[in-house]
Amino acid sequence: MNWKSWITAAIGAWFVAAPWALGVPRSPQLAWTSVVFGLLQVIVSAWAAIAPRVPSWRMWQYWVVLLTGLWFLIEPFLSTYEVPQYWGTAGPALLTIALAVWSLMEHTGWRPSERGRPGA
């Protein structure tokens, strides 16, 4: 079981509820995109958490989660969010992006400390 995937699944559930919890501008299109992308993040993250440990197979799931995190970072700029509403969306989006990048780094074997060392 991958704890990072469960956290991104929980964040996806937050994104599903966020339009109503934060009282974002009454735009049905933005509310629906938040629900659709949030559900996508929940499903893909939960799938990555319970899937067999086949790294090459799971890579696409981390990429999908990374893209949903990027979407939720951009989404507030498509409407008129107030500062608390922006951070209520952007904060979890940044956490989603960080966890997805971390998971991708683990599954590719890349470590930042390996770069630039002699013999690496």
What does pLDDT average to over the chain? 84
pLDDT score recorded for residue 76: 83
What percentage of the chain reaches a pLDDT higher than 90? 40
CA separation for the pair 14, 25 (Å, rounded):
17
CB 40 within 8 A of CB 67: no
pLDDT at residue 24 above 70?
A: yes
Q: What are the sequence ranges of the domains in the chain? A: 3-109
Which of 1 and 102 is assigned the larger pLDDT?
102
Instruction: Give the number of other CB atoms < 10 A from CB of residue 60.
Output: 11
pLDDT digits 0-9 by tens, 47-90: 888 876 665 666 888 899 999 999 999 988 887 778 888 888 99
pLDDT score recorded for residue 55: 58
